[in-house]
Amino acid sequence: MRNSLLAVAALLLAACAANKSTPIGEIAALASLEDVMDNQATTADPQFKKIGQAKFDDAELGALATASDRIQATSNKTKDFAKGRAEFEALAVKLNAKAKALGAGATAKDPAAINAALTEMKATCKECHSKFR
């Protein structure tokens, strides 16, 4: 029983450790790609669940705008880890552009633009992970 409880506690601790929400002003100082990716996933994954929504309330629009800013910061930092891989850097630049589009869609309160940006961001993440993960 004790070992089972310790195993569950270890799993919960590992799950919490992957949930990174570094203050946006400190993202540029992150020292590992893993930390950058953890921050990116913590920010993007909840927003990806909104793909297909017809309407967004003010709280969701605020969360989308914040996600846009955070993903721009993390994608800029991701380029630091490209190590001469032009395709890796190009995907970071692409993600950054889609994050900007997300912010513009949130500011305009445009569900179609938000959904397009989120869909393209998710596709960019999947493409990068399939090639470099």
Query: Mean pLDDT in each 10-residue stretch from start to end of the chain (133 residues)?
Result: 44 52 95 96 97 98 98 96 95 98 98 98 97 90
pLDDT at 90: 97
Structure tokens that stand for 13 in this block: 């601790």
pLDDT at 14: 44
pLDDT at 18: 60
Structure tokens that stand for 109 in this block: 């309160």
User: Which residue in 64, 63, 99, 47 sits closest to 78, CA to CA?
Assistant: 99
pLDDT at 20: 86
Structure tokens that stand for 76 in this block: 């800029």
- Structural domains in the chain, sorted by start: 2-132 (1.20.120.10)
pLDDT at 63: 97
Name the DSSP letter for residue 132.
Answer: H
Distances (CA, A) of 66 to 13, 31, 63: 26, 22, 5
pLDDT at 1: 54
Distances (CA, A) of 30 to 65, 78, 81, 92, 132: 22, 10, 11, 16, 19
pLDDT at 4: 44
